[in-house]
Structure 1
Amino acid sequence: MQAEYSANDVAAARSLQVYTYLYTSMATFWIYDYACSLHQEWSFLLWSRWSKVKGLYVVARYVPFLLLAGHLYMNFVPNENSDKCQLLNNICSCFSLISVFCSECFFVFRTYALWNNNKIVLATMITTFLAVVVASITFAFATTATAPWTTSAIPGITGCYQSSAVVQLFIPFLLLIGLGFGLMSLTLIRAIQSWRSTNSRLYAVLVKHNIFYYACGLFFSAVNVLTLLLFHYGYQAMFQDFQFIVLAILATRMHLHLWQTDRHAHRSSALVFIPLSDVSSAGSPT
């Protein structure tokens, strides 16, 4: 005799399936991107000098592997223990925060370089950035800790989801929107101030990268706010790590491009009007 399930059970099961498909697609896309940029990446890792930015690159590039592995384990391995679901989610959340922290740090340093290493600008950005990070961590863990985790009532459907709505999680994404607007404004102000006096290819690359990165961050943050407010079950969280993965790809890919542009500028003896040594981590082969 076939068991009958409620509409809520069916909706939750479908959300878990979509959630699993999305993370499988993200893992495939991440591995594909890694394979496509493998030659450039190893050239950068071998020939560029070590700096804080290179350290950020390594963390931003490889932490998503751990993030995706944790979510795929949680989505595919049968699990009926809600405490284990909570533990796995907390671990994955830590990886997510590390990933987005490193990605955003890239562009804090880039904006600092655009402002000619202005200490006031740096202090303002760091203070705001740390405030956003601390507030986001507080909201994220305080909210998810009080929402119970459960599994699908339908046999064969693996994965966990939070049975009650956690709409308060949209607050960290609102904070990211505010941070993105602030950094984008600093980039645009500097670009307007210097567009006539600066004729450097590196400068143009920095401005274009910054604007595109911030635009993507603002778009995905807005999508996550709407998803958290409008959807339920596993649908609520399906784009959160997607945003962090895309931002990590953009940050690392853009850094490789900047490094290659900087190497070409050095070889061509081109004049560079802004201090980019720390940002690009350029170094000539020995």
Structure 2
Amino acid sequence: MLDPYLDDRLLSNVVDAAHSLHSRTLNISLGEQIVFKHAVVISTFTFLIYDYFCTLDREVAFVWSRPRTFGTYLFVLNRYLPFIDLTLSISALEVFLSPEGCSRHYAAIAWLNILGVTISQAILYLRTIAIWERNRWIMILLGTTFVTMLATAITATKLMLNSVQLKPANPNFFFGCDLIHMDLYIIVSFGVILVSETTVVLLTLIRALKHLRRSSSSWVHQLYKRGFLFYIYLLAVTMLNIMFPIFAPLIVRTVFTDIQRVLHSILCTRVIFIIMSLQNEQERAEVANSCNDSLVYSRSRMTMDEDGMILTNVLDTFATPDDR
């Protein structure tokens, strides 16, 4: 029969070993966590700036050379808000702040993230409504999903911010905010974003099966192909932001939210550029055939094409020539 004392010591050693393994795998030192967070935020900002200059020529050609519409303002907000978000994120890591100052920083970053993701989702929704030819039931479905997503995200963000507890940081050790508690409401926010993105993907897939069969345009095939790739990237990062906070140390739980914010902006911007390049090709073809007045597309009023699709001026920004 085994000695009970030996059993207790064995159990104690196993527990200590488990705690030690957990400490080595998940609870990395505070300094390492801060360095990791710095690296992710700065790398994300660098990627945003790089993509901006890579696509600036398309912005000038496809956006600023056109008449201003509501879609133009959505584009501007989607394109430029991440620069403000990431500037605040970097300043929260680089500047010594009081707990009150950190709390204000966290709140500003969180609400700007909600605003930015909402704008990106709105662009994807408008695009989905456009390819579904403003189908009434699709508009009701997406409208309900959008309102539910927004209300849930706002509520979860408010609860998360209320749960945040901070303490004064040691200026001799590091700058930034010293977070000591935050509830996992962020998972709820990303959960509803996941539902929203999945809804858009499924609706786009259903429409693509019909659209691609009747369209021989390589541009349309390219649009759907890239669009699905973009959605997959967004879904992957959203899943990461749902799973990572469960296992990650407290200070780095939200480290990938900036990546998601930037990817939403970049990928939605690229979808818009693809669509606008298609529109540009169509307009040049129409100018070449301007002798036929029936081929001229009026952008200032509601129109109907040979497929019977009706698009408003807002949705027109996100409609391809094959849609019209």
Q: Which TM-score tier does this pair reach, normalised by the shorter chain?
A: 0.7 to 0.9
Q: CA deviation at 1:48?
A: 1.8
Contact persistence 2:275–2:320 (CA under 8 A): no
Aligned residue type for 1:157: F
* SS in structure 1 of the partner of residue 172 of structure 2: coil
Residue 249 (structure 1) aligned to one of 242, 245, 266: 266
Query: What letter is aligned with 1:53?
Result: G
Give the corresponding residue for 1:4: none
Q: 1:209 to 1:125 in 2, by over 3 A?
A: farther
- Which of 13, 27, 38 in structure 1 is aligned with 2:31? 13
- The correspondence of residues 71-150 of structure 1 with structure 2, limited to 5 A, is 71-79=89-97, 81-150=98-167
Structure 1 residues 25 and 31, CA gap change in structure 2 (3 angstroms)? same
Instruction: Give percent identity, aligned residues only.
Output: 21
TM-score (norm 2): 0.77
Provide the residue aligned with 1:158 in structure 2: 175
Q: Is the 8 A contact 1:167 1:228 kept in 2?
A: yes
Match of 2:21 in 1: none
Counterpart in 2 of 1:279? 318
Report the alpha carbon displacement of residue 202 of structure 1 after superposing the two structures with TM: 5.2
Separation in 2, partners of 1:280, 1:44: 14
Q: Is 2:205 the counterpart of 1:188?
A: yes
1:29-73 deviations in Å (ceiling 9; x for gaps): 211211222222122332122222211100011111111111111
The one-letter amino acid paired with 2:86 is L
Alpha-carbon distance, 1:106 to partner = 1.2
1:30 aligns with 2:69: no
| Structure 2: distance between partners of 1:253 and 1:182 | 20
Give the 3-state SS of the residue equivalent to 2:50 in structure 1.
helix
Does the Cα contact within 8 Å between 1:258 and 1:280 map onto a contact in 2? yes
Q: 1:59 aligns with which of 57, 62, 77?
A: 77
- Closer, same or farther: CA 46–93 of 1 in aligned 2, 3 Å: same
Deviation of 1:201 (Å)? 4.7
Please say if 1:47 is aligned against 2:57. Answer: no
Q: Give the 3 Å change call, closer, same or farther, for CA 194–28 of structure 1 in structure 2.
A: closer
AA partner of residue 200 (structure 2): L
The letter for the 2-side match of 1:73 is: S
Residue pair 1:60, 1:103 contacting (<8 A) in 2 also: yes
Between 94-103 and 141-150, the greater mean CA deviation after superposition: 141-150
- Higher Rg: 2
Contact 2:278/2:320 (8 A) holds in 1: no
Q: Deviations over 1:103-131 (max 9, x none)?
A: 11111011111111112211210111111
Which consecutive segments of 4 or more residues in structure 1 shift more than 6 A?
A: 7-10
Q: Would the alpha carbon gap of residues 86 and 281 (structure 1) be closer, same or farther in structure 2, given more than 3 Å must change?
A: farther
1: CA distance between counterparts of 2:143 and 2:54?
34
Cα deviation, residue 278, structure 1? 3.1
Contact 1:71 1:92 in 2 (8 A): yes
Q: Secondary structure at the match of 2:41?
A: helix
The code of the aligned residue for 1:58 comes to V
Q: Which has the higher contact order (CA 8 A, sep 6+)?
A: 1
Secondary structure at the aligned position of 1:149 is classed as strand
- Structure 2, unmatched stretches of 5+, are 1-23, 287-294, 296-304
Instruction: Tell me whether 153-162 or 33-42 shows the greater mean CA deviation.
Output: 153-162
CA contact (8 A) 1:70 1:88 kept: yes
TM-score by length of 1: 0.87
Q: Deviations over 1:61-98 (max 9, x none)?
A: 1111111111111110112x111101011111121112
The separation in 2 between residues aligned to 1:63 and 1:203, in whole angstroms, is 29
**Gap change, CA 1:272 and 1:234, over 3 Å in 2:** farther
Change (3 A) 1:254 1:278: closer
CA apart distance, 1:198: 3.1
Alignment partners' CA distance in 2, 1:94 and 1:172: 12
What are the Cα deviations for residues 174-214 of structure 1, in whole angstroms up to 9, with x where unaligned? 11111111111111111223332233455434423432232
> Structure 1, unaligned stretches of length 5 or more?
1-6
| Residue equivalent to 1:3 | none
**Aligned pairs, number:** 275
- Structure 1 window deviating more from structure 2 (175-184 vs 9-18): it is 9-18
